Structure 1
Amino acid sequence: MNRKSTKLPPEALYSSDLQWLPQARAGDASAFDRLVAPYRRRLHTHCYRMLGSPHDADDALQETLLAAWRSIGSFEGRSAFGTWLHQISTHACLRLISRRSRRLMSPDHGPAFDTTADLGQMVGGPVWLEPLPDDEAPWHGVAHEDPAEGLARRESVTLAFIAALQHLPGTQRAVLLLRNVLEYSAAETADMLGTTVSSVNSALQRAQKTMKSKLPAVSQATELRSLGEEDLDHLLGAFVTAWESRNIDDLVRLFTEDVRFTMPPLPAWFDGLVFVQKFIAERVFATPWRLVPMWANGQAGFACYMLAEGDDVFRLGAILLLNLRAGRIAGLHSFLDPVLHRRFGLAEAMD
């Protein structure tokens, strides 16, 4: 994630919207809403990267817009309007980070389980890293996106990238995102954070070292591009057929030897083909399922509907995202929180 774009910064695309700035400064709330509207998704995604939860990002975005509204009269145009908003949102996120624990993936919470009899009690609260619906991402609905730009955007929201960011202290997290993702210069970043260029460069080096140790060699965005649409469709189709028919042998043929299965907010997770196969066979396949394709964090997944004993409809039980590696499935991340399900706008039941 260290690409430099030759294009104009995104805020340049919205310069015409600055026509609303005089009215906003005069206290016109409607003009302010129009002024900030083109930036909302980019700001929300920036907050999501910083915080690891779309719900936390909602809080940070609300705080950002409130602070911007209160201080719009002091905006003098010495920086681009989008830069000013990103500065406010970054500091809002840093304040939240100082008050909250970092969001976790299952391996960060505790050791893998080796038995399927007891999966533990649900761990509630702001503990777990949460996925971001693709339709909330900045690229959603963008036509004719440059392939290299699109790949970079998707790499910066994959679950692995967001999870790795959570291992960084807040300031390092901010520096890495401002420099490598949003592509601000070291001087701009230093100004936004109220520090020096040398401090920014030092923080970036430390952040990059940590990220390198936490990230896979190949990102999910690159894996998907390498696999190609036809082979991806074949893999996902085989996965659905095996899962819905509860054919464990066909299913595990699609997995890597080191496959992992996580299921927050349950603490249980399983590491390696033997234990993942055991869990799916003994617990998951104890009930019928229907899978509906979906995407989140730029990754393929499914809304998973289960038919409980005595029920007559399939009810939403999980959002499942897949990690792929070399054409096989290396990770299954099942998110069980109904509050998160509602964010995706999914039907609660199906026949």
Structure 2
Amino acid sequence: MSGAGAAGRAPVAGGAPAVEAAEPVERLEAHRSELTGYCYRMLGSAFEAEDAVQETMVRAWRSYERFEGRASLRSWLYRIATNVCLDLLKGSQRRARPMDLASPSSVDSPIGTGLPEAAWIGPIPDQRVLASAGDPAETAVARESIRLAFISALQRLAPRQRAVLILREVLSWSASEVAELLGSSVASVNSALQRARATLAASGDGAAEAPAQPLDDAQQALLRRYVDAFERFDMDALTAVLHEDSTLSMPPYALWLRGRADILKWLLGPGGGCEGSHLVPVRANGRAGFGQYRADGKPWALQVIETADGRVTALQSFLDTERLFPLFGLPPRYEGPTGISSASAS
């Protein structure tokens, strides 16, 4: 935390170094990852989430001496983070995926000029929001709760309902804990949770899928086949790995395709510039992903891949490489081949 870290090293009154301030900074920083995950679920943007957490840390640091300890430090930080997110969400347009906005496009549809960044749900690196070690069941729930489809479903909820559902169903807070955080009643929290569940059920986009598991040998093999087929631009090999009803989306463009046949047709037509691409593995939103570089080594897209039943079911390509590649630690140009096992396994 740059701001609080600097404050922690500032001299105290009388000129003595504030060595004792290092402990509060460390205590606050210990919660950064989980707070980033919470704010990302609330806001749908990795960049807004990081800004919200930074603001949370700054507010917490400035108020730390007045923290009385009647609630846990974690609860206090979540209260601050919730207020920051609710402020950011006032009057804002809900973020979405292309498939949330319109029916599938045809291969011949014009790609359009693209919508502003604030219109879209964006990807986030796993390492920013998921603990490197912990209970396997909790880790599986955490992975599923940053899945792009679930983040999209959350955006359908009113902000306070969103906070209630995340705190109750993702983070397993009790109704009384959530009521205290929101300055509300248990009855109000339970009512908000009931309405939130009904909205998600009606949307059909909740966390209905089985929680994502660490990649097994079969899934690793599928990803290797996908990388090989895509890099060789082998349509027969891609046919074998893509699900018949797979989808392709490309924010910031609203155009999206459904169906293996249309995706392959698009790759052989408007998407022909993908030929010769190189894929560098990352982990995004609890799933396998790739930094896609064109044949000339220039960044083209951040891919997030969904799989089911031994096939690739979604290719979600985010084209804002200027911001996304640094976020995911990807180099500005392709620097040579790399394997997929270490980065895509978890």
Q: TM-score range by the shorter chain?
A: 0.7 to 0.9
Give the Cα separation in 1 of the matches to 2:163 and 2:226: 38
Match of 1:344 among 307, 315, 328: 328
The one-character-per-residue Cα deviations of 1:120-179 (angstroms, maximum 9, x if unpaired) are 112223111011111212313x2xx33212212211211122111111110110001111
Is 1:41–1:138's contact at 8 Å kept on the other side of the alignment?
yes
Q: CA deviation at 1:30?
A: 4.1
Q: Supply the AA of the counterpart residue of 1:288.
A: G
What is the SS of the residue equivalent to 1:258?
A: strand
- In the TM superposition, what is the alpha-carbon distance from 1:269 to its structure 2 partner? 1.0
1:47 aligns with 2:39: yes
- The counterpart of 1:218, out of the listed 209, 216, 220, is 209
**Residue in 2 that maps onto 1:3:** none
Is 1:331 the counterpart of 2:314? The answer is yes
Contact map agreement 2:291 2:299 (CA 8 A) in 1: yes
Tell me the secondary structure at the aligned position of residue 300 of structure 2. strand
Aligned to 2:222: 235
**Contact 1:176 / 1:207 at 8 angstroms: preserved in 2?**
yes
Mapped pair 1:201 → 2:199 = no
Pair 1:65-2:49 in alignment: no
Residue 152 of structure 1 aligns to which amino acid in structure 2? V
Distance 1:248 1:216 in 2: 32
TM-score, scaled relative to structure 2: 0.85
Q: How far apart are residue 333 of structure 1 and its match?
A: 0.2
Correspondence for 2:174 among 185, 188, 192: 185
1:239-272 per-position Cα deviation (integer Å, ceiling 9, x unaligned): 1111111111220221222211000012211122
| CA–CA separation in structure 1 for the residues paired with 2:52 and 2:317 | 26
Partner of 2:266: 279
Going from structure 1 to structure 2, the CA distance change for 1:125 and 1:153 (only over 3 Å counts) comes to closer
Contact 1:116-1:282 within 8 A present in 2 as well = no
Read off the aligned partner of 2:311 and give its amino acid letter: R
Give the aligned length. Answer: 316
Report % sequence identity.
Answer: 37
Matched residue type, 1:68: A
Q: Which amino acid aligns with 1:173?
A: R
Q: Is contact 2:33–2:129 with CA below 8 Å preserved after alignment?
A: yes
Residue ranges of structure 2 left out of the alignment (5+ in a row): 1-7, 13-17, 336-346
CA separation in 2, counterparts of 1:186 and 1:232? 38
Aligned position for 1:34 = 26
| Residues in 1 aligned to 2:145 and 2:264: alpha-carbon distance in whole angstroms | 31
The alignment's TM-score, normalised by the length of structure 1, stands at 0.84
Shift of residue 334, structure 1, vs aligned partner = 0.2
Matched, 1:164 2:148: no
Give the match's secondary structure for 1:121: coil
CA contact (8 A) 1:190 1:200 kept: yes
DSSP 3-state at the match of 2:303: strand
Residues 166-175 or 34-43, more deviating: 34-43
Shift of 1:216: 5.9
How many angstroms does 1:321 deviate by? 0.8
Residue number among 270, 283, 304 corresponding to 1:295 in the alignment: 283
Shift of 1:117: 6.1
Would you say 1:90 and 2:82 are equivalent positions? yes
Q: State the distance in 2 between where 1:182 and 1:170 align.
A: 17
Q: Do the aligned residues in 1 keep the contact of 2:130 with 2:143 (CA within 8 Å)? A: no
